[in-house]
Amino acid sequence: METTLVLLKPSCVSRGLIGEIINRFERRGLQIVGMKMMQLDDDKLREHYSHLVNKPFFPALAKSMKASPIVAMALQGVEAVTVVRGMTGYTNGRTADPGTIRGDYSMSNQQNIVHASDSIDSAEKELARFFKPEEIYPYKHALAEYLYAPDEY
């Protein structure tokens, strides 16, 4: 089992799409093991987007990420990191494939609805950035045996 981090960005929250996007993850069979709304600040954003702080678009990105609260989610499942990145789609909503979240809900390279961890290593670091250990709640998924074959989880 893996756990990955998803952020529902202000482009999701402000457009009233929280429920719709969460529904997609639940329908896929991912288990929500942590979830909270929070307001991001510059310190958190410089840490979270440390690979982008020197890009010319960083100030606009930071502004867009502070425009409303976000919803942080910890999603668990077999190969959850890869599964969730696949559901997220390419960064730019205009080139993201239809059927992906960005490809179905966005028209922008910046206002692209969700963040999702891009590797197991980033997932671990990013979950620790947004959740205290006690805010992740492991519990049995009632449908586990219908989501997976016995040798898959």
Asked if 109 touches ligand UDP (CB under 6 A), the answer is yes
Residue with smaller CB distance to ligand UDP, 38 or 143: 38
Residue 141 designated active-site: no
User: Which tokens sit at 1?
Assistant: 């089992």
The mark string for 43-82 relative to ligand UDP (x by CB under 6 A, - otherwise) is ---------x----x---x---------------------
From 2, 20, 104, 118, residue interacting with ligand UDP (rule: CB under 6 A): 118
Residue with smaller CB distance to ligand UDP, 62 or 144: 62
- In this structure, the strands spanning 70-77 and 2-8 are antiparallel
From 76-84, 104-112, 126-134, 138-146, span contacting ligand UDP (CB under 6 A): 104-112
From 16-24, 36-44, 112-120, 122-130, span contacting ligand UDP (CB under 6 A): 112-120
Answer whether 153's CB lies under 8 Å from 144's CB.
yes
Rounded Cα–Cα distance for residues 131 and 74 (Å): 8
Active-site residues, by number, are 115
Would you tell me which residues interact with ligand UDP (CB under 6 A)?
Answer: 52, 57, 61, 91, 109-110, 112, 115, 118
